Structure 1
Amino acid sequence: MAGQAAPDAGGEVVVDIDGVLVLAHSEEQDAAKTWKKTFGHHPLFAFVDHGPGGSGEPVAGLLRPGNAGSNTATDHIEAARLVLAQLPKKYRRGRRTLIRPDSVGGTHDFLDWLTARGRWLSFSVGMTITDAIHQAVLKIPAPAWTPAVEPGGEIRDGAWVAELAGDVLTGWPKGIRLIVRKERPHPGTQLSFTDADGMRLTCFATNTTGSPIAALELRHRRRASAEDRIRAARDTGLRNLPLHDTAQNQIRLEIVQLALDLPAWMPMLALTGDARRWEPQRLRLRLFSAAAQLVNTGRRSCLRLARHWPRTDVVTSAFERLHALPTPG
């Protein structure tokens, strides 16, 4: 129904996995001290990315205690299992599904599970800069660095990418590629001990072949949109989990995901342009609070919108697009 706006319009489904800390203000079941020295829960979410022109929808939510590890492979595997169960059958195995977590997903157990025989999923996983990776980066010759690119195809100023090889790949799944990016730090950025020559280093692993490393780095960089999905989740009920029992809070977590589905699919089907990327707060302000009057005349019901409302054209065009959709089934 969504046509070219569908998440798999490009022949691939991209799934971002990310954790979020939810504070608790009372003694709740499984609430515990978090790694940020706060108190609450540490859910793990998975979102299907709708591409740079859209938002994203939740497909899995795993409620965990506040002291759950960020890089616990068993939790990432369980979240991935829940994701695959939600996807159409043709995307449950094979390279048409890309799993894209941040560096906490860069564990041996998780990557071994993704690439297990009979599963063969694609991945683009952030990696921690270890001493071995740092030493390998220092040995990369200058001609091996390729300029990073922006979404529009132009060169990204002050950023370069290169692919690592050799001993740093030992012990990882067969076919893994390790790509590193160095970039001039933005003003105020604090460098770490693993950064080199005043450049900020980031690294990720993938098993995708046949694409330039600059394009692969851009694809992985786009996983930052998961933070937008987390922010939208907070706007739809994830700011706290107020119930006492874990089972009750798990139900609330499911309700939050249902609430997120509405501002994900409605813009995909009904809106165009920048409006497709509006988050819940902006949707409430610009669309859901539009002044209107429901008028019944004869055997028809008409929705009359105020002419002076600045987004009236967005609402009317959305109704027209929804009316033009084919009947499901």
Structure 2
Amino acid sequence: MKNIAVAGRVKVSADGQGVVSHAGMGMLRELADRTGLSTQVTAALADTYRGPWVYAPGEVFADLAAAVADGTSCIDGVAQLCGDREHVLGAKASTTTMWRLVDERIDAAHLPGVRAARAAARAAAWEAGASPAGEGWLHIDIDATLVIDHSDNKTGAAPTWKKTFGLHPLLAFLDRPEIAGGEALAGLLRNGNAGSNTASDHVIVLGQALAALPPAWRPDPDHPDDPDKPRVVVRCDTAGATHRFADACRIAGVGFSFGYPVDARVQDAVDSLTLADAWYPAIDTDGGIRDGAWVAEATTLVNLASWPAGTRLILRRERPHPGAQLRFTDADGMRITAFITDTPPGIIAGQVAGLELRHRQHARVEDRIRELKATGLRNLPCHSFWANAAWLEVILAGADLVTWTRLIGFGSHPALARAEIATFRYRVLHVAARVTRSARQLRLRLDVTWRWASAIAAAWQTIRSAFR
């Protein structure tokens, strides 16, 4: 038997100097300043102060957003995370000041100003290189999620449709496939018992999402066919398939792609299509045939007169995955799904199969919500409803900073640009560094042994160059 070698013990002491952890958070904080987010928020909240401030409200808001992106989930944690890095990020406000910003200053009257500040920062970030590539469609995905409340003293918390207790925000994301992520456009905080298919809430979130886009990227309702304007389509599951929301999309000049319930009429259409052998193979993202899946158009088989003119009904049938249980709406051992869209024929490559692929990609919104819950949304820390609504704006701003950092700084490093938030934090935001001073200049020296140190330094310089 071989003896097990015992490694020598490392001596530990608390006398390190000039060392900083989580140094990558400084890149997010600097980006908040360069996009004008902190300046715009300061302008929106200036009237909430009776006299001069010690810490500008936009600076405090940017600190909150950067810390939430770095993984903290409460305001007390934000103050600790920022306060421990004052020699890199500068002096920071106290926990009380941060609480006051969220709990008092960003109220219902000032939330629109904060949203406008985020929109202005988005325009600056897109101008610096974070804009969508190509001349294709912009896909806005809308979906709701439940935020569990483990107490009973938060305003708006109520029993949810899943027999839990909490709040039920409705969120809108811009799909950004170039980084395998999404850009958080808007969020509407709602009571826990808010309906999943409340049309008025969907209309409000759509309006906020379109206002969050830079002006040059917003559709023109008066000239929807203008080739100089981007084409926007809104994707939702069956919760968004309401006549009022479809009409609102038409009025706003955007297309729609909504999940559609598989009712008796759709089941009859499935039987008719099967008898006529009118199913065609579905396709994958790379354009190849998707094994075990077929699509067909059933517009003429179901009466869609109550929907906006040009609405089409597309059906999909697929062999269930191993272990999946069939539903009563399935037929002949096939999983049946349906959706409606107002995109005319000949617009999307692949015709009906292309439309089905585009709608199927709406499922990526689940990943966006999952990452947002890992970036502060899992916990709404305040008692007041409007304070939690302000915290939601902080979360969305933090998600924006991460997205813009990926798009501008890590475009040539796909492994970092496409990493999920937990991996991105570990590799980029949590990098260690030394702080040195020479020739009256402060320098941040990233750990040379860190595998991604060169990529982080290059990304930091790329971001600075993009805003010069």
Alignment-derived partner of residue 279 in structure 2: 145
Matching residue within 448, 452, 457 for 1:311:
452
Q: Which residue of 2 aligns with 1:201?
A: 336
CA distance in 1, matches of 2:215, 2:308: 25
Retained in 1: the 8 A contact 2:128–2:466? no
How much has 1:326 moved relative to structure 2? 4.8
Amino acid at match of 1:44: L
Tell me which structure has the larger Cα radius of gyration.
2
**Which residue of the partner structure matches residue 443 of structure 2?**
302
CA contact 1:2–1:269 (8 Å) conserved in 2: no
Aligned amino acid, residue 392 of structure 2: L
**What one-letter code is carried by the residue in structure 2 that aligns with 1:214?**
A
Moved more, 196-205 or 273-282: 273-282
User: Could you say which residue in structure 2 is the equivalent of 1:80?
Assistant: 206
Determine the C-alpha separation between the residues in 1 that align with 2:277 and 2:442: 68
Instruction: Give the drift of 1:279.
Output: 2.5
Question: Which whole-Å CA distance do the structure 1 matches of 2:321 and 2:190 have between them?
Answer: 34
Match of 2:317 in 1: 182
Q: Describe how 1:1-329 pairs up with structure 2 within 5 A.
A: 1=126, 6-7=131-132, 9-27=134-152, 28-90=154-216, 91-92=218-219, 93=221, 94=224, 96-116=231-251, 119-141=252-274, 143-166=277-300, 167-209=302-344, 210=346, 211=348, 212-272=351-411, 273-327=414-468
Aligned-pair distance for 1:52?
4.7
Aligned CA distance change for structure 1 residues 213 and 39 (closer, same or farther; 3 Å): same
Q: Distance in 2 between matches of 1:52 and 1:161?
A: 27
- Is the Cα–Cα contact under 8 Å of residues 14 and 100 in structure 1 kept in the other structure? yes
The one-letter amino acid of 1:231's match is R
Residue 135 of structure 1: CA displacement?
Answer: 1.2
Q: 1:62 to 1:262 in 2, by over 3 A?
A: same
Structure that is richer in strand per residue: 1
Alpha carbons of structure 1 residues 260 and 53: separation in structure 2 relative to 1, 3 Å: closer
Moved more, 279-288 or 305-314: 305-314
Aligned length, in residue pairs: 325
Distance 1:4 1:54 in 2: 17
Shift of 1:89: 3.3
1:309 maps to amino acid:
W
Sequence identity of aligned pairs in percent?
44
Confirm or deny: 8 A CA contact 1:133 1:168 kept in the other structure.
no
The answer as to whether partners of 1:2 and 1:268 remain within 8 angstroms in 2 is no
> Is there any run of 5+ residues in structure 2 with no aligned partner, and where?
1-125, 226-230
RMSD of equivalent CA atoms: 1.9
Shift of 1:2: 6.6
